[in-house]
Amino acid sequence: MTKEFFFKLSSGRSVKIQVDQKPDAAIRTARPLVLIKDPHQQDYQPVISTVHPKYWKFKGLGDSKATELELVYSGLSRRHIKKFLQDLQNDFSD
């Protein structure tokens, strides 16, 4: 089951978070895919790609820290992140 969450930031950037979760797995095993799209771009792209200065630091981190770093670098506020986590918990608890 795949869930998508969309956020529109005041800067015009759009953030899409995709979570692919198996129904029998725990929510902690879900690894979100964080994608961004700036106003001048056509498609969504990863927050931290191979050309990003922090790419190798990101690759060396564990899954939870890497996800946290992606969410912060995407431009989401704490309020957005909290809402995303609450919605994710509600969607996968059903």
Structure confidence by residue, pLDDT tens digits, 56-89: 777 778 777 878 888 888 889 999 888 888 887 7
The reported pTM is 0.78
End-to-end CA distance of the chain: 12
Q: Is residue 6 scored above 90 in pLDDT?
A: yes
Q: How far is CA 28 from the centre of its chain?
A: 14
Local structure of 20: helix, strand or coil: strand
34-39's contacts with Cβ under 8 Å and 24+ in sequence apart are: 34/67, 34/70, 34/71, 34/74, 36/74, 36/75, 37/13, 38/12, 38/13, 39/12, 39/13
